[in-house]
Amino acid sequence: ASGSVESEGIHYHDKFEVKYGSFMVGPAYRLSDNFSLYALAGVGTVKATFKEHSTQDGDSFSNKISSRKTGFAWGAGVQMNPLENIVVDVGYEGSNISSTKINGFNVGVGYRF
């Protein structure tokens, strides 16, 4: 998210950015030729950055605050093969990094060769 404000010769701009990534491994269980279930566990990392910049009467001020934390991550899902070399993946991923909880659903389509 970002924003700008300009009032009475003062220009202020800020930006807040969050990046998340994970590395997980785990087992898969094939239910049939077309369906598999999987579970994942590993590490997740989140980086939050806040930047601000202001100018007034030709003077400039900038500030940047950044924090990175790593914690446990997990996931589970189902992988389907609707056509011979096409893979559809639907899963859930969650993590608990310090006091920050991150979770969401993932959907992917791939080609197996």
The whole domain housing 50 covers 2-111
Helix (H, G, I), strand (E, B) or coil at 113: coil
Of residues 5 and 92, more confidence is placed in 92
Q: How far apart are CA 5 and CA 7, in angstroms?
A: 7
Domain count, the chain: 1
Q: How far apart are CA 79 and CA 83, in angstroms?
A: 12
Q: What CATH number is associated with residue 26? A: 2.40.160.20
pTM: 0.72
pLDDT tens digits along 33-50: 999 999 999 999 999 999
